[in-house]
A and B are shown apart, each in its own frame.
Chain A
Amino acid sequence: MKVRITVNGVLHEHDVEPRTLLAYFLREQCGLTGTHVGCDTSSCGCCVVVLDDEKAVKSCSMFAVQADGHQVLTVEGLAQGGALHPIQQGFWDQHGLQCGYCTPGMMLTSYVLLKHNANPSEAQIREGLAGNLCRCTGYQNIVKAVQQAAQTGVTSQEAAVRS
């Protein structure tokens, strides 16, 4: 069946099997391989994307047909106008990644976290990221990365894009 999903501002219209997961729609039909799959049980969060600029969803737990008509933000859509998003900058500056596999999902969960709480405490960040597993960093530098992003603010990227 046909679905129309706007991914990172671009409309993607494809025929899909009804059982196609959103994660594989993004990876194999849109060619956006930054969304990763790390488990079969919605446990790891490597596949998290943002739905309608509002919700962090595990795209392995959603059918592509359920996203029909919706807006999806993936890691490929975070940087704007050649400027890294403050969350991306935070992960880089604070050594918030090692193998990079969990990173896209981790950043997109952080994106939604900061959208709902611009100034979270460490405890709130740790609670907000508890659905995303990381095997390399021990989370400490990820927390710092999110704190840096909160401090520099999402507006800095907007400023960079405008200038």
Chain B
Amino acid sequence: MSIEAKPGKSLGVAMKRKEDPRFIQGKGHYVDDISLPGMLYMAIVRSPYPHATITSIDISEAIKVSGVKAVITGKDLEAAGLGWLPTFHGLDKQMVLAIGKVLFQYQEVAAVYAESRGAAADGAEVVQVDYDPLPVVADPFTAKKDETILRPDREAKTNHIYHWQVGDKDGTARALDGSAKKVKQRIWFQRCHPAPLEPCGCVAEFDKMGRLQFHVTSQAPHVYRTALSLVTGIPEDKIHVISPDIGGGFGNKVPVYAGYVCAVVGALKLGRPVKWIETRTENLTSTGFARDYHMDVELGATADGKLTALRVSTAADHGAFDAAADPTKYPAGMFGVVTGSYQFPVAFAEVDAYFTNKAPGGIAYRCSFRVTEASYGIERAMDILADELGMDAAELRRKNFVKKEQFPYASALGFTYDSGDYHQALEKALDKIGYPALLKEQAEKRGRGELMGIGISTFTEVVGAGPSKHFDILGIKMFDSAEVRIHPTGAGIVRAGTKSQGQGHETTWAQIVAEELGLDPQTIMVEEGDTDTAPYGLGTYASRSTPVAGAAIATAARRVREKAKKIAAHLLEVGEADVEWKDYNFQVKGVPTKSVTMKEVAFAAYTNPGPNEPGLEATNYYDPPNMTFPFGAYIAVVDVDRETGEVKVRRFLALDDCGTVINPLVVEGQIHGGLTEGFAIAFMQEIQYDAQGNNLNTNFTDYLLPTSLETPHWETANTVTPSPHHPLGAKGVGESPNVGSPAAFVNAVIDALSPLGIRHIDMPVTRDKVWRAIRDAEARREK
């Protein structure tokens, strides 16, 4: 239950969200709500072929359509030097509109500008494009053969994009060879899509001063400004990026898309504002997908279950362009966290990425870069090992956890885990769900031939990118920033380089400032997403807002407090050394009755600052010293119908440890949402392509989002292990449930099916796949 906020203690309070009144009254302000005088609408002509030469484009019929003002193609953009767009890490480029050939189905081929939404669609309908189909490469294993080279525009004539590796290759091979027990499993984390309910879109306008006013659904507005400047050559001071309210992002709204460039070009060319809002089909077929990692996971262990080595070899399907949103030096993101919560004497991981005739992407869908793939891989493999050893899945984990006293812990693949207490988390979760009773029930049911499964996932995440010595995007270091300004009446404003898409920053950022300064969180306004006013930041994704911007806000607020202390000393007529901050007031040391409030100090800062510089504000650019490592223990309980393959998730307990909690209401909400997305990935969602490269999941009737009916009831719990290096001890949480839950669901299903000898089913674990696995297993037994 939520409570009303008040001055004083603010951190850790389940305060009702400050942003909600506008959303519940239909006053949210999303990009499609923007309507400017003279605004044109843009529609995009897309390719029906996954791989084809464009032999001709005829726009003559389209420009005759009533209301159509212009049509542009790739050749027009190429002539203007805007044919290609650099991808986020700067290692590849992608066509804005197809030039010469198309490389994936639904690729952007032409843009049509018209007086109305309908006229733009009518115009797009009659743009005549002739194609000459080319051989299609629909998976990374075919791509690897290099029989058809998809990207002859690149220097290296191969479909292989990069090889990345970390760890001790030879040492791992030796350790695996010498292990008493070994398991190996091909685990595919299927291609899926974040599918926020609000599609991507923008409104581009050049104002009377010739300045680009760019309203866009961006999770990283400052990065957009810089990228747009670099691509278009418009000086950065002439670009104003505004992210209004965003209807969900989940990583989908991090990349810069072709449609945005076309809208800007149209606005420049036609001298009128241009709106582009993609359809759901465009969203699912052309904007950033996630995952598509084929992982060969191998574990070695002693006969009694002590881990000896981990090796993971991955083939990554990046689609037609290498548009994976990863930091420059980390082409496979944080995949090195694949050692999970366990002590490995030695480990090795490698990723090879390939071009295919599929949509580009590889964004972090509600996870820090490639952490979900890593977590799923290790947590599935641990269950396969437990099965091989005939050991309880909880016991195997217990035996191999990094111990509380080992933190900070240097993992075998190079991360330094900041803090954790994995044993406590697992024991508490097992206790809450009643593990012994469930095991007893399961044994009884198995005796009757019924299929019941218990799935455990004890994951560790790595979030909060990141320390500038390691992390950058387009060369820009991954710091984040905040400006805190307190007004004379004790109200204030905090601006940050992040951008909420539902995470509740307007509430939680205010709580941080209120806590640090003893002010009322209701009178601390939060502003984000406006590049003219907010300090430069890298945005909201990869659970980095609280670890990085949250730290910047706390640090800036503390700087305000330092300044305020000097003014307090002046008001209290004592030396600064005699003033202390206690119980949310400045007091003369040892004389609690002699005190001033922050509100009084704020007023004095503008009316009676004494010898001090007037005003009360501070800015901080926070460069985190390390990543943060949230963790959790999740347990799923399922019943599987032997006849139909239907899986019923009967219970799900999520125990999370995200360090210090800023607002438990917001944290719980994030966990519910992330679990629901994890549930969808485990059981329902896949962007499938057939062998001819046709996308088979192009709208919500084929790409399924769980409804209120399928979604299980979520049980939550927590432990608190603060991060030692974050100013508040906070670690970030939004993505943990999506990272940790898929393995719990699948482990539970496989546990249910294990009496039949079934060892693995790739996600999504649909009724059909389960039914086939049961049928095949029973057929094997009859032989």
Contacts and interface: CB of A to CB of B under 8 A. Distances in A.
A17 B20 contact: no
A109 B470 CA distance: 49
Interface of A: 17, 19, 24, 27-28, 32-41, 43-44, 46, 74-76, 78-79, 84, 88, 91-95, 97-104, 107, 125-127, 129-143
A126 B708 contact: yes
B55 interface: no
Given A97-B23, A107-B24, A135-B676, 5 more contacts: A27-B32, A38-B199, A98-B670, A99-B197, A126-B709
A140 B672 contact: yes
A46 B199 CA distance: 12
B449 interface: no
A93 B708 contact: no
A92 B503 CA distance: 15
A36 B1 CA distance: 28
Contacts of A24: 117
Contacts, number: 176
A44 B25 contact: no
Most chain B CB inside 10 Å of its own CB: which residue of A37, A84, A99, A142: A99
Nearest to B4: A93
Interface stretch (B45-53, B155-163, B243-251, B566-574): B243-251
Contacts of B196: 99, 101, 135
Most chain B CB inside 10 Å of its own CB: which residue of A19, A24, A37: A37
Nearest to B674: A138
Contacts of B503: 98
Contact of A103 (B23, B199, B675, B699): B23
B222 to A, nearest CB: 21
Most chain A CB inside 10 Å of its own CB: which residue of B23, B30, B665: B23
A134 B199 CA distance: 14
A101 B197 contact: yes
28 contacts: A17-B118, A24-B117, A36-B247, A38-B197, A39-B699, A40-B279, A41-B280, A41-B699, A92-B16, A92-B24, A94-B1, A95-B668, A97-B24, A98-B248, A98-B669, A98-B673, A99-B245, A99-B502, A101-B30, A103-B24, A104-B26, A126-B708, A126-B709, A130-B707, A131-B707, A137-B669, A138-B672, A138-B676
A135 B673 contact: yes
Chain B interface, >50% SS class: loop
A81 to B, nearest CB: 13
B575 to A, nearest CB: 47
B198 interface: yes
A59 to B, nearest CB: 13
Contacts of A98: 248, 502-504, 669-670, 673
Given A130-B707, A133-B700, A78 B25 contact: yes
Most chain A CB inside 10 Å of its own CB: which residue of B17, B502, B504, B666: B502
B711 A138 contact: yes
A135 to B, nearest CB: 5
Contacts of A97: 20, 23-24
Most chain A CB inside 10 Å of its own CB: which residue of B118, B668, B705, B707: B707
Contact of B708 (A33, A75, A95, A129): A129
A7 to B, nearest CB: 12
B248 A101 contact: yes
B781 interface: no
A101 B2 contact: no
A41 B248 contact: no
Interface in B275-298: 279-281
A99 B249 CA distance: 9
A91 B20 contact: yes
Nearest to B23: A100
Nearest to B249: A99
Interface in B2-51: 2, 16-17, 19-30, 32-33, 35
A75 B25 contact: yes
A138 B247 contact: no
Given A93-B2, A135-B248, A32 B280 contact: no
A133 to B, nearest CB: 5
Nearest to A90: B24
B714 interface: yes
B248 A136 contact: yes
Nearest to A79: B25
Contact of A136 (B25, B245, B673): B673
A133 B16 CA distance: 23
A76 B676 contact: no
Given A39-B700, A139-B708, A142-B708, A99 B246 contact: yes
Contacts of B25: 34, 75-76, 78-79, 84, 88
A46 B677 CA distance: 18
A140 B712 CA distance: 9
Interface string B107-138: 00000000001100000000000000000000
Which 5 pairs show the lowest CB-CB distances between chains A and B? A34-B26, A101-B247, A99-B502, A100-B23, A138-B672
A93 B16 CA distance: 7
Given A33-B33, A36-B198, A97-B20, A139 B676 contact: yes
Most chain B CB inside 10 Å of its own CB: which residue of A17, A39, A43: A39
Contacts of B484: none
Given A38-B280, A135-B673, A28 B35 contact: yes
Nearest to B194: A135
Interface in B654-681: 665-666, 668-670, 672-673, 675-677
Contacts of A126: 708-709
